[in-house]
């Protein structure tokens, strides 16, 4: 074991491993390790410029009892950055302290000749490297002691009812509706970023926690401490990037459905909204408006003059967003050139195919700068130059035909090693160029993200989820944990994506309850694939804009007069909160605070707020209690200490209590903090 000081960092070497602990932001450390000759130099999510921080490093010797009963001396070392301290013992085990209190320690069960607690014969080490035969990557397993009573949150979006993650096993991989953002927030006052885009797994076990990367060249994680979740998120976004200030003219209603098939359909919907006196901020043109996947252009048969369409919509104050997929059909005019230039994902074995929905496709490789340039030039010519304002970057995981991550390779390495960054790199095809255009803040819509995606103009939605109350309940914790993982711009498909029958009264009740929730969420967006599918296709070609089916109407007035009245009422509520929502977006920009906040984010001193998961704070003012079950017209709500006004009646309640309130279908319980 050998310790060194290196420009404010503590470096040590142990059995072929090089480990570096260095200050990285306020009260924070970055910890890297490798079995290679040096580090890769990749910063991954840690992209922001930092001020320098003074550290204190001590390398000392301590007496230790050897197994034969004799005494010897072994080196230990420590490094301090503000309120956080790391201590490394003679076996290379790292312990982290916040204000001298132990908060996290690597797990080590190996007999090393001492009589210490960790000296056991299990031969379990804290950082386990195994070389991948024939490659330069390793599999990596890093273990930490489990803290009794600790609660873990964040980590992105997983379609499950569990908001608190202690005891959960999470795949570190991107899938449709699953978003791996590997930042965990602990109730003990620390945040932990697994700064590694490798496919893997994390287990927050009762006996120990375990982070696994299936293929990587180095260990890389970042840890910070603070007294509050707000302080932890502030430290985190300082090093990974801040969301820009969200445009005021996108804080209202976005209109979308599967799918507007023609230019005239889009315009007729926009004109009807204008006639109804409802301002929509943005209208979305969904998939298969194109000729073929990968052509990235309108089918002229159904979209004869996109520029004129955009101009009319702009005159109504409506922005236009258009769907772009990363899949390239073999029949596409761009397939041959992109395959020849190596701009598509490569398969390690078998046929060159990564996606098979409505065509034999290979998806683009956004890690390749030539790919990014090629795709942007096509989309600029065929969309952006017409005045299209933004892009709906769908299938951004990407959505593979089969999630065999070990079968895919990008120009920068195997998908196993870097694949979780795919959605971020995909978004940068557009963000990097659009941010130079002078056309204002970039706001694109994506189905996936990774750590740091908040700085690339990404509104993330929760994916193709079913239209059920169970799915609605899952979305509450999805949105809260996404916010705690540093992603404040988040939304869902109101009513869920997959609906069999829009005439089903149970679905319509679900739609209303979902819409009420969405009004008190960052982005209010109508979308869904609405059955029954009895609308004929526009033509019988097996390609082009008229080829694929469409769903039933999905505008506010599409679900009967009674429901339209409720949605109009809640639309007015959304509009009345404009200045308040603007303030929340400013906070997200400045300090990383999400708009959708776990109860403990605003009330960290209240132990009950760390337990409650079916309600949340919309900013610091409104306590929202969504209705999450069919035919539920009353629910219990926990009110923290203070005075709270029920917005439906004006009644004032004393906090620090559990109250029961009525919830007719016309009303979702919301309390205003007094």
* 514 pLDDT higher than 60: yes
CA distance 415 to 396: 14
Indicate the average pLDDT of the chain: 96
Residues of the chain with CATH 2.60.40.1760: 2-240
* 226 pLDDT higher than 70: yes
Note the pLDDT tens digit of each residue in 423-442: 999 999 999 999 999 999 99
Q: What is the pTM of this model?
A: 0.97
* 65 pLDDT higher than 60: no
Note the pLDDT tens digit of each residue in 275-327: 999 999 999 999 999 999 999 999 999 999 999 999 999 999 999 999 999 99
CB-based contacts of 260: which residues, under 8 Å, 6+ apart? 266, 269, 283, 285, 286, 289, 550
Note the pLDDT tens digit of each residue in 159-194: 999 999 999 999 999 999 999 999 999 999 999 999
Q: Domain 2-240's class?
A: mainly beta
Residue 115's pLDDT band (cuts 50, 70, 90): very low
Mean pLDDT of 385-406: 98
Mean pLDDT of 140-157: 98
State the Rg of the chain over Cα.
26
Q: Domain 598-673's class?
A: mainly beta
Mean pLDDT of 320-342: 98
How much is the pLDDT for 501? 97
Residues of the chain with CATH 2.60.40.1180: 598-673
DSSP for residue 493: -
By percentage, how much of the chain surpasses pLDDT 70?
97
3-class DSSP assignment, residue 454: helix
Residue 617's pLDDT band (cuts 50, 70, 90): very high
* 572 pLDDT higher than 50: yes
Active-site positions read 394, 397, 464
* 113 pLDDT higher than 70: no
Residue 405's pLDDT band (cuts 50, 70, 90): very high
What are the strands of the beta sheet with 670-673, ordered from one edge? 596-597, 616-618, 622-624, 670-673, 643-646, 652-654
How much is the pLDDT for 57? 97
* 67 pLDDT higher than 70: no
Note the pLDDT tens digit of each residue in 6-32: 999 999 999 999 999 999 999 999 999
CA distance 654 to 641: 7
Q: Which of 105, 127, 104, 2 is nearest to 59 (CA)?
A: 2
How much is the pLDDT for 110? 84
């Amino acid at each position: 074991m050998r310790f060194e000081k290196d420009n404010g960092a503590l470096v040590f070497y142990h059995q072929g491993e090089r480990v570096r602990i260095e200050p990285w932001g306020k009260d924070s450390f970055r910890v890297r390790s490798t079995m290679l000759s040096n580090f890769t130099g990749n910063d991954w999510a840690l992209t922001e410029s930092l001020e320098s921080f003074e550290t204190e490093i001590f390398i000392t010797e301590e007496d230790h009892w050897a197994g034969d009963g004799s005494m010897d001396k072994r080196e230990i070392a420590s490094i301090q950055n503000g309120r956080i301290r790391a201590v490394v013992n003679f076996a290379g085990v790292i312990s982290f302290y916040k204000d001298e209190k132990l908060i996290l320690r690597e797990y080590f069960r190996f007999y090393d000749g001492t009589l210490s607690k960790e000296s056991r014969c299990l031969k379990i080490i804290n950082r386990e490297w195994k070389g991948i035969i024939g490659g330069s990557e390793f599999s990596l397993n890093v273990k930490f002691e489990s803290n009794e009573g600790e609660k873990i949150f964040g980590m992105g979006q997983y379609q499950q009812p569990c908001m608190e993650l202690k005891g959960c096993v999470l795949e570190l991989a991107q899938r449709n509706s699953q978003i791996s953002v590997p930042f965990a927030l602990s109730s003990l006052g620390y945040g932990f970023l697994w700064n590694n885009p490798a496919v893997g797994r994390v287990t927050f076990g009762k006996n120990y926690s375990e982070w696994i990367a299936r293929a990587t060249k180095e260990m890389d994680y970042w840890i910070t401490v603070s007294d509050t979740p707000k302080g932890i998120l502030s430290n985190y976004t300082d090093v990974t990037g801040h969301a820009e200030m969200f445009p005021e003219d996108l804080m209202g209603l976005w209109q979308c459905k599967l799918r507007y098939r023609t230019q005239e359909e889009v315009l007729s919907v926009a004109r009807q909204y204008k006639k109804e006196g409802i301002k929509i901020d943005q209208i979305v043109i969904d998939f298969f408006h194109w000729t073929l996947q990968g052509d990235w252009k309108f089918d002229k048969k159904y979209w004869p003059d996109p520029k004129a369409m955009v101009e009319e919509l702009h005159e109504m104050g409506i922005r236009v967003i258009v769907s772009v997929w990363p899949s390239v059909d073999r029949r596409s005019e761009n397939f041959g050139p992109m395959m020849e230039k190596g701009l598509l994902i490569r398969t390690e074995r078998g046929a060159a195919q990564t996606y098979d929905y409505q065509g034999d496709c290979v998806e683009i490789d956004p890690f390749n700068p030539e790919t990014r340039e090629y795709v942007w030039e096509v989309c600029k010519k065929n969309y952006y130059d017409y005045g299209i304002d933004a892009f709906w970057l769908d299938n951004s995981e990407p959505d593979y035909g089969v999630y065999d991550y070990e079968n895919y390779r990008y120009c920068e390495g195997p998908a196993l090693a870097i694949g979780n960054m795919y959605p971020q790199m995909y978004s940068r095809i557009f963000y990097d160029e659009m941010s130079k255009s002078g056309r204002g803040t970039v706001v694109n819509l994506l189905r996936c993200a990774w750590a740091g995606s908040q700085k690339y103009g990404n509104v993330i939605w929760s994916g193709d989820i079913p239209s059920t109350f169970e799915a609605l309940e899952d979305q509450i914790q999805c949105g809260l944990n996404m916010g705690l993982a540093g992603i404040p711009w988040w939304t869902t498909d109101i009513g869920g994506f997959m609906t069999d029958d829009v005439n089903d009264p149970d679905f319509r009740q679900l739609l209303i309850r979902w819409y009420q929730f969405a009004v008190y969420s960052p982005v209010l967006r109508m979308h869904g694939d609405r059955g029954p599918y009895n609308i004929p296709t526009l033509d019988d070609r097996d390609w082009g804009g008229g080829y694929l089916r469409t769903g039933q109407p999905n505008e506010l007035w599409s679900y009967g007069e009674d429901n339209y009245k409720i949605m109009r009422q809640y639309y007015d509520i959304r509009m009345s909160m404009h200045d308040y929502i603007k303030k929340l977006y400013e906070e997200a920009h400045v300090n990383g605070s999400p708009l959708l906040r776990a109860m403990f984010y605003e009330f960290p001193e209240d132990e009950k707020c760390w337990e409650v998961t079916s309600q949340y704070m919309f900013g610091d003012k409104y306590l929202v209690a969504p209705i999450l079950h069919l035919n539920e017209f009353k629910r219990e709500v926990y009110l923290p200490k203070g005075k709270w006004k029920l917005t439906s009646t004006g009644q004032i309640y004393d906090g620090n209590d559990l109250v029961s309130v009525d919830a007719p279908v016309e009303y979702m319980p919301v309390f205003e903090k007094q």
